[in-house]
Amino acid sequence: MSATVSPLAPKSYPDMPAVRGVSMSTASAGIKYKNRTDVLMMVFDRPASVAGVFTKSKCPSAPVDFCRANLPHGVARGVVVNSGNANAFTGKKGRESTALTAKSAAQALGCGENEIYLASTGVIGEPLDATKFSGVLADMANSATGDFWLEAAKAIMTTDTYPKVATRSAEIGGVKVTINGIAKGAGMIAPDMATMLSFVVTDADIAPAALQALLSGSVEATFNSITVDSDTSTSDTLMLFATGAASADGQSRIETADDAALASFRVALADLLKDLALQVVRDGEGARKMLEITVTGAESDAAAKRIGLSIANSPLVKTAVAGEDANWGRVVMAVGKSGEMADRDRLAIWFGDVRVAVDGERDPDYSEAAATAVMKQEDIPLKVEIGLGNGKATVWTCDLTKEYVAINGDYRS
């Protein structure tokens, strides 16, 4: 955790209510960081429905492989997360580490190893000594408590400068349900089916297949629409658990994702995931500004998103934003290199409400002063109209500062 909290950090944290059916505890195992918690355990009172989306990296971590193997089983009794070591590119030792952790957690909770889910975050390529924390899992299980969300978020941070939490409520068939979530992430962020680490729990009673469809359907416009540095992590894990505790209030179990009773829940889940995703961008390593890029008029929504990410991932665009320079020529460059259809003479570009380019050239009413005023803001909206179709998408990123280089130049030391 950085000594300096991001200037884009939330000014306050939401009051995180306890979610019935889940409790948490944290511990300090000294995996990489001194004098802070670095292990999180989540315990479910009874088997919870589980859904997950993971990195598309072809070099995934051992915990990602482990979770993927368990997911078809559909239920979870416990989650163990460590920070400071990603347990990625660790070969046979990595698999042995996940096996030991899962065995210890299963023994502590009296459940099967296929009901345990694991995640690790931190340095890639360093063997993870799971004996540092496997022995304390029984104690952690016994001391777990329900109102521990902010502490849970703190335990999974790496270069994050603040813990990321969010909560929403919804109704299913007239019964109120709660959704809480935590996330970590600040660098190596260009998610592909998930991002870094994020764990979301609801007390709703929803079957695993329906829960998976809900999660997969909400990822594209939230976690898969953010980027800090164009790099997809080996460890990206986003998991959603439903404890079913709301059944005690009369909530009928949801079996399919197209159930009309899910309307309120679907909106609340998407809103919570977007909240967490944007907190990750706002904590981008060295970030001083947040950029919301909206692309309209592309050939398709998918084309609009690819153009948006081409702009968002451009080091030249991001450094211009860092320097408060309304350099729309770099936006034109990024549109042109995206590989998607574009017509130079139909392009229009806005920084905030200031149109800087139209019909393929500088706006005749262009004002450098007005554009510069927009660039001085912490939150900068950038809009690009392609002029070819109805495709649209929004993506989010941050600026690229000297601090990003400094953080990543000595990350392992």
- Per the annotation, the verdict on 222 as an active-site residue is no
For 304, list phi and psi in degrees, rounded to 5. Answer: -60, -40
Q: What does 64-85 look like in DSSP terms, one character per residue?
A: HHHHHHHGGG-EEEEEEEEEEE
| Active-site option among 55, 195, 234, 243 | 195
Q: Are 272 and 170 contacting, i.e. CB atoms less than 8 angstroms apart? A: no
- Rounded distance, CA 186 to CA 195, Å? 10
Contact of 152 with 183, CB cutoff 8 Å:
no
Query: CA angle 150-153-158, nearest 5°?
Result: 140
Give the whole-angstrom CA distance, residue 135 versus residue 132.
Answer: 7
Q: What contacts 129, CB < 8 A, 6 or more positions away? A: 31, 97
Q: What is the DSSP string of 267-332?
A: HHHHHHHHHHHHHHHHT-TT---EEEEEEEEESSHHHHHHHHHHHHT-HHHHHHHHTT---HHHHH
Tokens of 31: 């995996």
- Determine the Cα–Cα distance for residues 72 and 63; give it in Å rounded to an integer: 15
Assign 3-state DSSP to the chain and report helix, strand, coil percentages, each to 5: 35, 25, 40
DSSP per-residue string spanning 210-238: HHHHHHHHHHTTTGGGB-SSSPBPS--EE
Overall residue count recorded for the chain in this entry:
413
Residues classed as catalytic? 195
